[in-house]
Amino acid sequence: MTYPHTHAAGRRTGTSSRHDGRSALPVPPQVPDRRGPGGRRLLGLLLLVGLLASVLPWWLGTPAGSLRSTAATVTAAGRITGLIAGYLLLVQVLMMSRLPVLERWIGGEQMARWHRDVGATLLVAVLAHLSLILVGYADLRNQSILAEVGTLLGDYEDMLSAFVATGLMMLVGFSSVRAIRRALPYELWHLLHRSSYLILLLGFGHQFTHGAQLYKPGPVRTGWIALYLLVVAALLWGRVLAPLAFNLRYKLRVADVVAESPDTISIYLTGERLGRLTMLGGQYFRWRFLTRGCWWQSHPFSVSAAANGRWLRLTVKVVGTHTADLREVAPGTRVWAQGPSGTFTAAHRVRERALLIAGGSGITPIRAMLEELPPGAALIYRARTPADVLLSRELDWLAQERETSVWYVIGSRDDPGPRQLMSPDGLRQLVPDVARRDVYLCGPPGLVEQSVRALRRAGVPRRQIHLATFEL
Amino acid sequence: MRRALLAITGLAASTTALVVFKGSPGATQVAQNLPTAQPVNPTPQDVDPGTGPTADPVAGAPTPSVAPSAPASAKPSKSTARPPGSPRATTKAPTAPRTTTKAPQSTTRRVTGPGVDNEYGFVQVQIVVSGNRIVDAVSLSLPSGGESDIHSDDVSSRYDGTGGEVVQKQSANVNTVSGATETSNSYKQSLRGAIEQAF
């Protein structure tokens, strides 16, 4: 993971005042190279080809015209949905493997969105598979569906565990419906979601003992098993080996905890070899503070300053018990970090200039990114009260250094001022070329939704809108 | 969420399309060859008129005279008749005289069940009955080719023979071989026909 920082060097302007003593940066950050959508498209294509390939064995193994009875047709549909479900399950787990290459090509945020969509499809495919096979088999055997369930559970090896896996998947699926998920405690939801690994295990057997396409030893069966091994390897690499290597290498520790405002703290971290840490402003890590009360929790927080070779900083709003505990973290505490992740960075820009919209503590990734964006960016910082404005001194300094226009928009969402400004016309007045800029949004969901709507109406194409979402 | 709905719709549409594509050439074939074919399975579906249930009393001398040749099925290429004088049938023969000494009317008979067509091929079963016991079962024809070979082998190794499940259970009420549901069902259907004919 290296980013050549060479070509952009000549493009930066206004760097003469950098060394006037205010800069904490020994190495001036530079504009990172653009990362196009190539990786994402390639991977999307690969996954699609895989989907087709997973149904291919059925297509080749079924002679044309062989589906003569209703039962045979229904069973065939059950087999197809079964193959698709088996494949999608693997894709689901792969996307959550945190494999560095996936994080780099697609990004955690995009992956979370795919994961949700594929998840819904997977659940439907599994239920379709189950019911179609039940109806088809019951028809073939000329018995009721309930009796067929009995036959499958009693006479068929591995079928009990497959049924359990389906039940678990339904639980996981329904608990992830947004309305239900909000009503559940996070820990319970998380535990339920963790049981997905069990689904992978429990659903494994029946595919090979009864799958009409996977039953026979041969290339199809071998390939399917190979897919499983690949996904398990990706999980092991992304969730165990890569973080282990990262943390053994950089050995992060808490250096200091500083209050930024009455309810916001910055945690400074130091470590070894930080000069070689490649990270982009706007990315996040999953942090695990190894103290008695906190070690078992891992939370994603953005880094609030670009890589500088000496320290990392995260700025956190105190909202829950975990963040409250973070106030008390003693200097010297070891920190286990997993990352960096995220595509909310200057490298993912598609235009030369940018508009950044931050709400409240959503400023943190944007503050880090400002150091790496090409000069000429614009920042709108929404905050309810002046006391909610964070890192304002740094922002002022960056405004000067990076030729950034900064507007602080203070007030409630319903106040006439902010309301007028966050409308399509208001945005166009403030930033006339808004439609030709990348727009980076980070803040509370209400602000993000409202802004996206206004931006779309102001003529900003969807691909130019970048969202920082941690929802997972 | 919109994309998820799209994906689910795509899933349903493509599954339907796949099934329809695979099913369509056969639909016309069925219409031509089997005008009375019933869509549902319960009754013997495609009973070949030439090889209906036939009972052949073979008194004393058990020569495999029945020897049903491969019946002309809708898909002749898929059906291969086993050699009628299969080793199992002939080795079983010497026991016949013993059974005749017990009861005069009790002879060894070979009863061939109706041929049953399923989506993989043609299935036909022959049983050897001594007195009122089934002493042997032979599958004269099972689907062959590709994957079907494996399933057919499974089915015949489970059901056929003097120690097979048919002889153990003495009825058509045998367990379905997992992974070969349809072939098992067709086997049972033919077997049921043979048993009805024999007793």
| Pairing mode, strands B121-130 and B133-143 | antiparallel
| B76 in contact with chain A, both atoms CB, cutoff 8 A | no
| B185 in contact with chain A, both atoms CB, cutoff 8 A | yes
**Residue B65 confidence (pLDDT) above 70:** no
Query: Average of pLDDT values for A363-370?
Result: 92
**Residue A78 confidence (pLDDT) above 50:** yes
| Pairing mode, strands A405-410 and A378-383 | parallel
Q: Provide the CA A33 distance to its chain's centre, in angstroms.
A: 22
Going by C-beta distance under 8 Å and a sequence separation of 6 or more, which residues neighbour residue A27? A308, A309
Report the distance separating Cα B184 and Cα B156, nearest Å.
9
Residues of B in contact with A142 (CB under 8 A): 41-42
Q: Could you say which of B15, B41, B120 has the minimum Cβ distance to residue A81?
A: B15
Chain A nearest CA to B96, separation (Å): 35
Q: A363, A381 in Cβ contact below 8 A?
A: yes
pLDDT at position B147 is 67
**Residue A222 confidence (pLDDT) above 70:** yes
| B41 in contact with chain A, both atoms CB, cutoff 8 A | yes
Query: Average of pLDDT values for A302-308?
Result: 91
Interchain pair B41, A71: CB under 8 A: yes
**Residue B144 confidence (pLDDT) above 80:** no
Q: B128, B106 in Cβ contact below 8 A?
A: no
Residue scoring higher pLDDT (A240 or A63): A240
pLDDT at position A60 is 86
**Residue B25 confidence (pLDDT) above 70:** no
Chain A nearest CA to B23, separation (Å): 5
pLDDT at position A18 is 35
Percent above pLDDT 70 for chain A: 93
Percent above pLDDT 90 for chain B: 7
- 3-state SS record for A339-355: EEECCCCHHHCCCCCEE
Q: Could you say which of B1, B150, B178 has the minimum Cβ distance to residue A209?
A: B178
| A72 in contact with chain B, both atoms CB, cutoff 8 A | yes
Interchain pair B22, A62: CB under 8 A: yes
Has this prediction a pTM greater than 0.80?
Answer: no
- The mean predicted confidence, pLDDT, of chain B is 66
Cα dihedral: A68, A70, A73, A77 (round 10): 180
What are the φ and ψ backbone dihedral angles of A382, each rounded to 5 degrees?
-95, 130
Alpha-carbon distance values, A238 to A74, A143, A232, A341, B165 (Å)? 39, 47, 10, 12, 51
Going by C-beta distance under 8 Å and a sequence separation of 6 or more, which residues neighbour residue A387? A261, A262
Residues 201-220 of A with CB under 8 A from B: 209-210, 212, 215-216
Report the distance separating Cα A53 and Cα A36, nearest Å.
27
**Residue A373 confidence (pLDDT) above 70:** yes
pLDDT at position A28 is 54
Q: Could you say which of B19, B26, B181 has the minimum Cβ distance to residue A140?
A: B181
Percent above pLDDT 70 for chain B: 56
Query: Average of pLDDT values for A347-354?
Result: 90
Residues of A in contact with B192 (CB under 8 A): none
- The mean predicted confidence, pLDDT, of chain A is 86
Interchain pair A68, B119: CB under 8 A: yes
Q: Could you say which of A116, A121, A157 has the minimum Cβ distance to residue B178?
A: A157
A vs B: CB pairs below 8 A: 112
Q: Confidence class of residue A231 from pLDDT cuts 50, 70 and 90?
A: very high
Interchain pair A68, B182: CB under 8 A: no
- For residue B147, what is the nearest residue in chain A, using CA coordinates? A216
Q: Could you say which of B3, B16, B26 has the minimum Cβ distance to residue A67?
A: B26
List pLDDT tens digits, range A205-220. 999 888 878 877 888 8
Q: Confidence class of residue B26 from pLDDT cuts 50, 70 and 90?
A: very low
| A423 in contact with chain B, both atoms CB, cutoff 8 A | no
pLDDT at position A29 is 57
Q: The complex's ipTM?
A: 0.75
Query: Average of pLDDT values for A414-442?
Result: 90
Query: Average of pLDDT values for A123-144?
Result: 90
Query: Average of pLDDT values for A33-56?
Result: 89
DSSP A157: T
**Residue B97 confidence (pLDDT) above 70:** no
| A55 in contact with chain B, both atoms CB, cutoff 8 A | yes
| A65 in contact with chain B, both atoms CB, cutoff 8 A | yes
pLDDT at position B102 is 39
Q: Confidence class of residue A88 from pLDDT cuts 50, 70 and 90?
A: very high
- For residue A70, what is the nearest residue in chain B, using CA coordinates? B39
**Residue A327 confidence (pLDDT) above 50:** yes
DSSP readout, chain B? -HHHHHHHHHHHHHHHHHHHHHHHHHHHHHHHH-TT--SSSSS-SS--GGG--EEEE--SS------PPPP--S-GGGEEEPPSS-HHHHHHGGGHHHHHHH-TT--EEEEEPPPEEETTEEEEEEEEEETTEEEEEEEEEEE-STHHHHHHHHHHHHH-STTSHHHHHTSS-PPPPTT-HHHHHHHHHHHHHHHHHH-
Q: Nearest to residue B78, comparing CAs of B110, B46, B54?
A: B46
Residue scoring higher pLDDT (A406 or B49): A406
Interchain pair A67, B1: CB under 8 A: no
**Residue B39 confidence (pLDDT) above 80:** no
pLDDT at position A136 is 87
pLDDT at position A236 is 94
Going by C-beta distance under 8 Å and a sequence separation of 6 or more, which residues neighbour residue A435? A458, A459, A460, A461
Residue scoring higher pLDDT (B59 or A396): A396
Q: Is A329 helix (H, G, I), strand (E, B) or coil?
A: coil
Q: Confidence class of residue A230 from pLDDT cuts 50, 70 and 90?
A: very high
What are the φ and ψ backbone dihedral angles of A247, each rounded to 5 degrees?
-75, -30
Q: Could you say which of B1, B8, B26 has the minimum Cβ distance to residue A64?
A: B26
Interchain pair A215, B179: CB under 8 A: yes
**Residue A6 confidence (pLDDT) above 50:** no
Q: Is A414 helix (H, G, I), strand (E, B) or coil?
A: coil
* Least confident piece of the model among A43-57, A133-147, A251-265, B6-20: A133-147
Q: A266, A276 in Cβ contact below 8 A?
A: no
pLDDT at position A470 is 53
List residues bridging with A302 in a β-sheet: A284
A97 class by beta-carbon count within 10 Å (0-12 exposed, 13-18 middle, 19+ buried)? buried
Q: Nearest to residue A81, comparing CAs of A102, A97, A58?
A: A58
Residues of A in contact with B11 (CB under 8 A): 81, 84, 121, 124-125, 128
Tokens of A334: 């070891």
Residues of B in contact with A212 (CB under 8 A): 147, 179
pLDDT at position A172 is 92
Percent above pLDDT 90 for chain A: 42
pLDDT at position A266 is 93
Residue scoring higher pLDDT (A316 or A293): A316
Going by C-beta distance under 8 Å and a sequence separation of 6 or more, which residues neighbour residue A244? none
**Of A70-79, A114-123, A184-193, which has the strongest mean pLDDT?**
A114-123
List pLDDT tens digits, range A157-199. 889 999 999 999 999 999 988 888 888 887 788 888 888 899 9
Chain A nearest CA to B154, separation (Å): 12
**Residue B74 confidence (pLDDT) above 70:** no
- For residue B30, what is the nearest residue in chain A, using CA coordinates? A68
Residues of A in contact with B152 (CB under 8 A): none
Cα dihedral: B6, B11, B12, B15 (round 10): 150
